[in-house]
């Protein structure tokens, strides 16, 4: 199908973009990579009166270190994150996740700001934002605010963004030394949305876990952290019995839906299996991490 007609505005700055959003009073949509938005327009699931194209805003596609943080501009493309030495160096778990995001032609276009704002419940980047305790810098004509990923994802395809706001930057605090990571995903086909995926980071001191993070996607309306599994891991070493307890908590944190790709029961089973794998990988990596 073809999209319904719309007016098209090229924004040359973030200020122009959010001013246009405010003026349109909810009738405008931002277009960045368009890899989720354009299918919805083509199906006429969305019929915005105005598309505000932010692709030409200069200096919004960066990945840069800033002390104990890494700052990622909203227009950074997926393929850029996949190949960035800064990401590979500081967030190898994110680099691994990026290889699971769709296909090259889509990774060439899709942006981090777009993926987080769209918030598909089975997407990898929202899960990474949760895992890595991302802060999102959000702009409106009234000014700027910072929102934690934890508060940003509200429901499937629903985020804490007002109709005159856009994400300008994603800030990731660097991981502590001696952190290992694991990532496990199953999709029907390479590049498809996850049926389930789990990501884990474990930080060690004196060979016991001092910080644990467990994030899941594809099995609930939003990506989730499994806080009770994280609490259970702190102060311990991973062995078979502990892994089984973590797997149980990962399964319990899932709230899967059935669709034509997988039943809810299969997804709940799967997220446990993947949780065990990601935990094992993270433990092995943490034990050899500097």
The CA–CA distances, whole Å, from 277 to 59, 128, 187, 274, 282 equal 39, 17, 15, 5, 9
- What are the Cα distances from residue 85, in Å, to 29, 57, 145? 32, 24, 29
d(CA 56, CA 106): 18
* Shortest CB 52 distance to another protein, Å: 12
The residue from 26, 105, 156, 231 that contacts another protein (CB under 8 A) is: 105
Q: Does 12 interact with another protein (rule: CB under 8 A)?
A: no
Minimum CB–partner distance for residue 246 and another protein (Å): 29
**Contact call for residue 162 and another protein (CB under 8 A):** no
d(CA 290, CA 287): 9
Q: Which is nearer to another protein, 79 or 174 (CB)?
A: 79
Query: 66, 190, 260, 290: which one contacts another protein (CB under 8 A)?
Result: 190
Nearer to another protein, 77 or 285 (CB): 77
In sequence order, which residues have a C-beta less than 8 Å from that of residue 46 and are 6 or more positions away? 29, 37, 40
Q: Where are the alpha helices (DSSP H) in 99-180?
A: 104-107, 112-118, 124-131, 149-152
CB of residue 102 vs another protein: minimum separation in angstroms?
Answer: 7
Among 21, 28, 81, 102, binds another protein (CB under 8 A): 102
Subset of residues 54 to 73 that bind another protein, contact rule: CB under 8 A: 55
103 interacts with another protein by CB under 8 A: yes
Contacts of 50 (CB under 8 A, 6+ apart): 6, 7, 8, 9, 20, 24, 27, 28, 29
When binding is defined by CB under 8 A, the residue of 16, 108, 140, 284 that contacts another protein is 108
Tell me the closest approach of the beta carbon of residue 53 to another protein, in angstroms. 6
Give the total residue count for the chain: 290
Give the strand pairing for 69-73 and 166-173: antiparallel
Beta strands 166-173 and 224-225, pairing class: unpaired
Residue 150 as a binder of another protein (CB under 8 A): the answer is no
Q: Binding string to another protein for residues 16 to 45, with x set by CB under 8 A, is what?
A: ---------------x--xx--xx-xxx--
The verdict on 127 binding another protein (CB under 8 A) reads no
Contact 267, 195 (CB under 8 A): yes
Instruction: Tell me which H or E stretch contains 88.
Output: helix 85-90
Write the interaction track for another protein spanning residues 70-89; mark x where CB under 8 A is met and - where it is not: ---------x----------
Question: Which residue in 65, 104, 151, 244 binds another protein (CB under 8 A)?
Answer: 104
Contact region for another protein (CB under 8 A) — 64-72, 140-148, 185-193, 258-266? 185-193
Binding residues vs another protein (CB under 8 A): 1-8, 31, 34-35, 38-39, 41-43, 51, 53, 55, 79, 102-106, 108-109, 189-191
């Amino acid at each position: 199908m073809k999209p319904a007609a719309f007016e098209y505005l090229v924004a040359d700055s973030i200020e122009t973009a959010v001013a246009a959003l405010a003026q349109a009073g909810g009738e405008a949509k931002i277009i960045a990579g368009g890899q989720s938005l354009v299918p919805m327009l083509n199906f006429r699931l969305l019929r915005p009166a105005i598309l505000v194209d932010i692709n030409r805003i200069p200096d919004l596609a960066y990945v840069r270190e800033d002390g104990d943080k890494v700052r990622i501009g909203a227009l950074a493309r997926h393929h850029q994150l996949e190949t960035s030495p800064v990401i590979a160096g500081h967030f190898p778990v994110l680099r691994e996740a990026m290889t699971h995001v769709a296909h090259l032609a889509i990774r060439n276009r899709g942006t981090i700001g777009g993926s987080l704002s769209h918030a598909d419940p089975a997407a990898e980047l929202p899960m990474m934002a949760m895992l890595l305790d991302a802060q999102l810098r959000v702009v409106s004509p009234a000014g700027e605010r910072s929102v934690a990923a934890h508060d940003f994802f509200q429901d499937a395809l629903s985020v804490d963004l007002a109709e005159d706001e856009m994400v300008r930057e994603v800030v990731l605090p660097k991981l502590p030394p001696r952190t290992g990571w694991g990532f496990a995903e199953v999709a029907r086909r390479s590049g498809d949305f996850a049926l389930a995926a789990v990501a884990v980071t474990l930080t060690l001191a004196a060979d016991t876990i001092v910080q644990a993070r467990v994030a899941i996607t594809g099995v609930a309306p939003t990506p989730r952290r499994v806080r009770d599994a994280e609490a259970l891991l702190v102060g311990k070493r991973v062995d078979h019995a502990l892994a089984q307890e973590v797997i149980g908590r990962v399964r319990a944190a899932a709230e899967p839906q059935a669709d034509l790709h997988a039943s809810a029961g299969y997804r709940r089973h799967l997220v446990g299996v993947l949780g065990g794998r990601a935990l094992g990988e993270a433990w092995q990596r943490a034990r050899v991490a500097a």
